[in-house]
Structure 1
Amino acid sequence: MNGLTILDEVLVIISLSQERYGLPLVSTDGSDSLTVRFIASISLIHKYISIHIYDEFTHTLLKCFDLLEQLTGLAEQPESTWSDYEASAILPALIG
């Protein structure tokens, strides 16, 4: 639950990643490094969510859907698209 909360907070409050965890917001080439990091590891995050969707606690399920909503908003940006592999990591859990 703590991991889901941290991922969700960092996506919602961008400055939090720099204040609490020391993550740079902009990389050396000027691109948004936080978005690049989430895009690079999105299949792993999808698998993490798909495991925790089946927990018995409603609060965990709601946090999974909040994080998934943030990731979907992140995927709407022009520089980031989900591949079939990345989408297949979460779709079976949502359907089942």
Structure 2
Amino acid sequence: MTDEQDPLADSIRRKRKRREQWLREGERPMGRNLALIGALGWLVIVPTLAGLFAGRWLDERAGGGIFWTAALLFAGVALGGWLAWNRIGQER
């Protein structure tokens, strides 16, 4: 097995790179971390609530049941998770 294919060597290389970056840039400020947590919360909750309210509205118009509420709630959670995932990816 060559050094390029060795998962242990790759892991050590990544850890060394992260450590060098940390020594160069330092630790992220607490305020920036808190802002990211707040942004992630809004990114998840807004599409979830929008799906919930739109689903309730459609279900009331369709004559009851929870078909649209459940479907759009799930879609809102999925969209919020995707948006949060992309936001975390931007921070890296």
TM-score, normalised to structure 2, is: 0.29
Of the two, which has the highest radius of gyration?
A: 2
Relative to its length, the structure with more helix (as a share) is 2
Greater relative contact order structure (CA < 8 Å, 6+ sep) = 1
TM-score, normalised to structure 1, is: 0.28
